[in-house]
């Protein structure tokens, strides 16, 4: 007689996801990670222990019922799986691609203690892509409760707030300053990491929920917040993000050939200058490109430069590999594609030619000292270690600061010395009645998912506020 | 979509368009600009606002047909649509009573200058206007500006009309007591006038038109050095004190994409056959 065994042995290793080969992908802008097949998704879903008290959910900023959707995948109920995700997350195809799951849901996964955590992000992406391929769609909804909300900014925070409010029955209008919706998802993150048709499809889903979108509407200039409140909007959500480039403030930084990462990525992603002259917006890429910084934006810039045909692209970073803020996956992708890492290197000035074009960058060699206030070891210059790197293009990717236009044009809106908007941490309300804010405009530059989490909390807070308001009448 | 209500050729290759944009028209002030995109593949180009009519809901701007987009726009006719217009962008001009104001305009920027002169005049200023062009037939808005100014001069680079060059300004600035100088025109003009007025310490406001992409502070391509600090023309300007501007850097930065702009323009002329579709 066969001995009774409680359960088949569960694989410790997660199922890897197919990717375009480095030597091929570094010459195109198509998506690098290709996504799980149905078989791979089921095999990965089989690894989930279906914990009664799931830790993963606690690591999710938008509180997706992760075990539930994985169970539905396992049962091959793909439509129900995506519905389960969409109860909490209106942009799953995006999150499945760009969320740092390794620091969120997956970090809490019990399976991670003795092997690989469940690859929740890839499963989320599979479910979302499955739905998109089938073109299954939500039917248009009509607003029911008679209240109107203005959402300023069509990025991750704004889209999430809008979707959640629409689901609650509000009439929502998104005011977006650029000509396309998506915020950083369309101007910042490159096509090869987040295809723009995926963003467009997710934006379409939000529109199908009944949300109205107004592109080319720069609030603060076209309409002010008081004007919105006086013209039929019951509440306002500000999700204008951190879109202003930070520069190094070094001599020679305004020479030609020196881009902010924002300019470089806006040209390439939003304006599609990789297809110039078929598209009108030009981009100039030299042979030797230095990208200053080592976050995700720096990796995106370096990898885009490579795809535009640069011969040699380096990441120039003043600390060591360990302190690099980019996701491990992105650093690995960059390394595979042949990006050079010049670590413990700090630029001190740029030198230009007679036409005002950058030709060299002076750098100092650094060493690491004691940890600083960020907890990372402080880089200290080594004396007399100056050296020059020949470059013809530099991309400055050292962070972004909040968009200032709303703050400059709205009386009574309290801001910090960093230019972020001050809100009540729990209610997310600003000092102005009925005006809420969330995402990078409140926290400073952070992640897509944290902005989405903020949009979600703000939607809930606005609902409570208006509910209160209704009852008080 | 913004419908073109009226088009007018002001001079060879210089056109004035009036478009339907009621929300922008209701908010626009002298000194501000818009960014437009012609179609799905179009680039974003900034244009200074030359007029607005809140009642009719229209906005006007002038442009010089120098690049691909402006050449393409030049082919558009009344009734055609422009895909996107965003604005008003930038800070409005400072309009109040200064006293005697010298307003110098050159080329296509005379159109928005006229708007500012009108506002300065309404604020109680005495206006001396100087309009310039490369040659006589390129001079625009002459009658309009003449009508609203107290004193009026013309200068051309080749002397085909009025003074030859801007040298006469030295005498003018020395003999008249201007409280403020406003210059809108090519960089060479803004630089030349700023150099003249610097010796007399007269506040001189220039409108900078560097390359822009988003026009709302995000890309930083419009960065200019003013009083040794990097500023963004789109959100900190576009007007700055001329005595503090690094014009040489501005000229270099305006030329950054010249080869690409030429390619784009030539390709358009050859492939699209300049206006054939719209004709």
Does the beta-carbon distance from A260 to B219 stay under 8 Å? yes
Position A137 scores a pLDDT of: 57
Q: In this structure, are B86 and B65 located in the same domain?
A: yes
Nearest to B235 among A281, A355, A405 (CB): A405
Do residues B110 and B233 both lie within one domain? yes
- B54 Cα to chain A: minimum distance (Å): 13
What is the pLDDT, as a whole number, of residue B279? 43
Residue A63 Cα, gap to closest chain B Cα (Å): 32
In a domain, B17, yes or no: yes
- For chain B, how many structural domains are there in total? 2
The CATH fold assigned to A245-400 is FAD/NAD(P)-binding domain (3.50.50)
Chain A residues whose CB is inside 8 A of the B253 CB are: 254, 256, 356
CB contact under 8 A, A222 and B44: no
Q: In this structure, what CATH number is given to the domain that contains residue B51?
A: 2.40.30.10
Who among B219, B235, B257 is closest to A404 (CB)? B235
Residues with pLDDT less than 50, chain B: 278-279
Chain-chain contact of B217 with A277 (C-beta, under 8 angstroms): no
Phi, psi torsion values for B122, nearest 5 degrees: -65, -30
Query: H or E element: which one contains A362?
Result: strand A358-371
Check if the beta carbon of residue A434 is closer than 8 Å to that of residue A465.
yes
Chain A environment of B24 (Cβ under 8 Å): 222
Contact B84 A280 (CB under 8 A): no
Q: Which of B31, B87, B214, B229 to mutate to test the interface with A (most CBs of A within 10 A)?
A: B214
Contact flag A256-B256 (C-beta cutoff 8 Å): yes
Contact present, A407 and A419 (Cβ < 8 Å): yes
> Which pLDDT score is estimated for A146?
87
Question: Could you give the CA distance from residue A419 to residue A232 in angstroms, rounded to a whole number?
Answer: 29
Write down the pLDDT at residue A18: 92
Instruction: Write down the pTM of the prediction.
Output: 0.93
Please report, for the domain that includes residue B137, its CATH number: 3.40.50.80
Do B22 and B135 reside in the same domain of the chain?
A: no
pLDDT digits (tens, 9 = 90+) for A250-301: 999 999 999 999 999 999 999 999 999 999 999 999 999 999 999 999 999 9
Q: How far is A279 from chain B (nearest CA, A)?
A: 5
Nearest of A134, A173, A356, A150 to residue A237 by alpha carbon: A150
Same domain, yes or no: B159 and B184: yes
Report the gap between the CA of B175 and the closest CA in chain A (Å): 38
Whether chain A has a CB inside 8 Å of the CB on B213: the answer is yes
The DSSP code sequence of A126-149 is HHHHHHHHHT--PPP----S--EE
Q: CB of B199 within 8 A of CB of B171?
A: no
How distant is the Cα of B170 from the closest Cα of chain A, in angstroms? 31
Give pLDDT, residue B276.
59
Q: pLDDT tens digits for A378-410? A: 999 999 999 999 999 999 999 999 989 999 889
Closest CB to B213: pick one of A177, A257, A263: A263
For an interface test with B, give the residue of A152, A173, A221 to mutate (most B CBs within 10 A).
Answer: A221
pLDDT tens string A226-264: 999 999 999 999 999 999 999 999 999 999 999 999 999
Identical fold at A148-243+402-472 and A245-400? yes
Residues of A within 8 A of B267 (CB-CB) are: 277
Domain end call among B35, B69, B91: B91
Q: Is B235 on the interface with A (CB under 8 A)?
A: yes
Q: Cβ of A405 and B216 within 8 Å?
A: yes
Q: Are B37 and B126 contained in the same domain? A: no
* Architecture in CATH of A22-134: Orthogonal Bundle (1.10)
In terms of domains, do B145 and B182 share one? yes
Nearest to A282 among B37, B85, B260 (CB): B260
- Please give the average per-residue pLDDT across A141-153, as a whole number: 86
Shared-domain flag, residues B50 and B134: no
Residue of A nearest to B24 (CA): A222
Nearest to B84 among A179, A255, A259 (CB): A179
Distances from the Cα of A121 to the Cαs of A100, A118, A133, A163, A168, in angstroms?
9, 9, 18, 21, 27
Please identify, among B67, B91, B115, the residue that sits at the C-terminal boundary of a domain.
B91
Name the minimum distance, in Å, from the CA of B46 to any CA of chain A: 13
Neighbours of B214 (CB within 10 A): 27
Question: Which tens digit of pLDDT belongs to each residue from A402-438?
Answer: 989 999 889 899 999 999 999 998 889 999 999 999 9
Residues of B in contact with A223 (CB under 8 A): 23, 27
Do A263 and B252 lie within an 8 Å CB cutoff? no
Mark whether B29 and B143 lie in a shared domain. Answer: no
pLDDT at A327 over 60: yes
- CATH code at A148-243+402-472: 3.50.50.60
The two structure tokens encoding residue A452: 């989405």
Q: Please name the member of A218, A245, A271 whose beta carbon is closest to the beta carbon of B89.
A: A218
Residue A376 pLDDT: 85
* Res. A6: pLDDT tops 80: no
Q: Based on C-alpha coordinates, what's the Rg of chain B?
A: 18
Summarize pLDDT for A73-115 with one digit per residue, the tens: 999 999 999 999 999 998 999 999 998 898 899 999 999 998 9
Nearest to A258 by CA among B165, B256, B144: B256
Residue A39 C-beta-side C-alpha neighbours within 13 Å: 1
Asked whether residue A471 carries a pLDDT value surpassing 90, the answer given is no
* Residues facing B8 on adjacent strands: B16
**In chain B, what residues touch A398 (CB-CB under 8 Å)?**
none
Do residues B170 and B127 both lie within one domain?
yes
Same domain, B177 and B197: yes
Put simply, the answer to whether B219 touches A279 (Cβ < 8 Å) is: no
* Degrees, nearest 5: CA angle A397-A30-A178: 55
Q: Nearest-CA residue of chain B relative to A179? A: B84
B214–A245 C-beta distance less than 8 A: no
User: Would an 8 Å CB–CB cutoff place B22 in contact with chain A?
Assistant: no
DSSP class of residue B211 equals -
Domain shared by B237 and B105, yes or no: yes
Residue matched to tokens 């740092």: A100
- pLDDT of A7 reads 60
Half-sphere exposure of B115 (CA within 13 A, CB side): 24
CB-closest option in A178, A255, A277 to B214: A178
The answer to the question of residue B245 being in a domain is yes
Q: Which of B252, B260, B264 lies at the smallest CB-CB distance from A256?
A: B252
Is the confidence at residue A2, as pLDDT, over 60? no
Whether A124 contacts A92, CB under 8 Å: yes
Q: How far is B94 from chain A (nearest CA, A)?
A: 16
Considering the domain boundaries, does residue B146 fall inside one?
A: yes
Chain A partners of B223 at a C-beta cutoff of 8 Å?
247, 254
**Domain coordinates of chain A in residue numbers?**
22-134, 148-243+402-472, 245-400
B68 touches chain A (CB under 8 A): yes
Judge if the upstream peptide bond of residue A402 is cis by omega within 30 degrees of 0.
no
Strand order in the sheet with A212-214: A212-214, A171-175, A148-152, A235-238, A435-437
User: Is B46 a member of any domain?
Assistant: yes
Domain that holds residue B197: 100-254
Nearest-angstrom CA–CA distance, A425 and A428: 5
- pLDDT mean across residues, chain A: 92
- Residue in B27, B68, B261 closest to A222 by CB: B27
């Amino acid at each position: 007689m066969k001995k009774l065994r409680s359960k088949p042995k569960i694989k410790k290793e997660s199922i890897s996801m197919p990717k375009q080969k480095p030597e091929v992908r570094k010459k195109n802008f198509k998506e690098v990670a290709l996504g799980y097949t149905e078989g791979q998704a089921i095999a990965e879903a089989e690894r989930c222990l279906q914990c009664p008290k799931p830790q993963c959910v606690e690591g999710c900023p938008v509180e997706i019922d992760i075990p539930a959707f994985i169970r539905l995948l396992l049962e091959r109920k793909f439509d129900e799986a995506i519905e389960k995700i969409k109860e909490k997350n209106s942009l799953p195809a995006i999150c499945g691609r760009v969320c740092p799951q390794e620091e969120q849901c997956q970090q809490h996964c019990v399976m991670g203690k003795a092997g690989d955590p469940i690859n929740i992000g890839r499963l989320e992406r599979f479910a979302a892509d499955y739905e998109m391929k089938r073109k299954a769609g939500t039917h248009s909804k009509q607003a029911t409760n008679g209240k109107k909300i203005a959402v300023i900014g069509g990025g991750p925070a704004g889209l999430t707030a809008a979707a959640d409010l629409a689901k609650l029955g509000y009439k929502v209008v998104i005011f977006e300053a650029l000509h396309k919706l998506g915020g950083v998802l369309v101007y910042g993150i490159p096509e090869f990491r987040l295809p723009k048709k995926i963003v467009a499809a997710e934006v379409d889903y939000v529109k199908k929920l009944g949300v109205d979108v107004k592109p080319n509407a720069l609030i603060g200039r076209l309409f002010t917040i008081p004007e919105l409140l006086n013209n039929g909007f019951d509440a306002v959500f500000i999700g204008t993000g951190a879109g202003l480039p930070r520069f190094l403030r070094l001599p020679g930084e305004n020479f030609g050939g020196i881009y902010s990462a924002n300019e470089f990525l806006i040209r390439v992603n939003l304006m599609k200058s990789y297809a110039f002259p078929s598209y009108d917006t030009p981009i100039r890429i030299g042979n030797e490109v230095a990208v200053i910084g080592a976050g995700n934006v720096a990796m995106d810039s370096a990898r885009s430069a490579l795809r535009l045909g640069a011969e040699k692209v380096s990441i120039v970073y003043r600390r060591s590999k360990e302190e690099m803020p980019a996701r491990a996956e992105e650093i690995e992708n960059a390394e595979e594609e042949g990006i050079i890492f010049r670590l413990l290197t700090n630029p001190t000035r740029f030198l230009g030619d007679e036409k005002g074009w950058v030709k060299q960058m002076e750098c100092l060699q650094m060493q690491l000292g004691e940890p600083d206030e960020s907890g990372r070891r402080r880089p200290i210059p080594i004396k007399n270690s100056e050296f020059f790197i020949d470059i013809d293009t530099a991309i400055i990717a050292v962070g972004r600061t909040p968009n200032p236009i709303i703050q400059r044009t709205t009386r009574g809106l309290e801001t910090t010395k960093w230019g972020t908007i001050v809100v009540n941490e729990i209610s997310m309300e600003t000092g102005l009645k009925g005006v809420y804010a969330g995402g990078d405009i409140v926290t400073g530059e952070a992640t897509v998912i944290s902005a989405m989490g903020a949009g979600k909390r703000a939607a809930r807070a606005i609902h409570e506020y208006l509910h209160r308001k209704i009852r008080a009448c | 979509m913004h419908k073109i209500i009226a088009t007018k050729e002001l001079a060879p290759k210089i056109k004035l368009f009036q478009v339907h944009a009621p929300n922008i028209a209701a908010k626009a002030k002298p000194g501000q600009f818009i960014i437009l995109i012609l179609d799905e593949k179009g680039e974003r180009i900034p244009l200074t606002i030359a007029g607005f009519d809140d009642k009719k809901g229209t906005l006007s701007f002038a442009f010089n047909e120098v690049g691909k987009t402006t050449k393409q726009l030049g082919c558009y006719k009344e009734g055609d649509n422009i895909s996107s217009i965003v604005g008003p962008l930038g800070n409005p001009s400072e309009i109040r009573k200064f006293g005697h104001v010298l307003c110098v305009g050159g080329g296509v920027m005379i159109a928005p200058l006229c708007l500012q002169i009108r506002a300065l005049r309404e604020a109680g200023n005495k206006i001396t206007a100087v309009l310039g062009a490369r040659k006589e037939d390129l001079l625009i808005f002459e009658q309009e500006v003449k009508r609203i100014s107290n004193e009026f001069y013309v200068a051309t680079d080749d002397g085909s009309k009025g003074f030859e060059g801007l040298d006469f300004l030295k005498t003018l600035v020395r003999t008249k007591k201007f409280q403020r100088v406003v210059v809108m025109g090519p960089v060479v003009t803004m630089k030349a006038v700023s150099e003249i007025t610097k010796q007399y310490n007269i506040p001189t406001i220039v409108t900078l038109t560097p390359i822009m992409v988003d026009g709302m502070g995000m890309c930083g391509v419009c960065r200019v050095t003013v009083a040794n600090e990097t500023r963004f023309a789109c959100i900190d300007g576009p007007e700055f004190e001329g005595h503090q501007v690094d014009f040489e850097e501005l000229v270099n930065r305006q030329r950054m994409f010249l080869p690409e702009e030429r390619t784009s323009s030539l390709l358009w002329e050859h492939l699209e056959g300049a206006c054939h579709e719209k004709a």
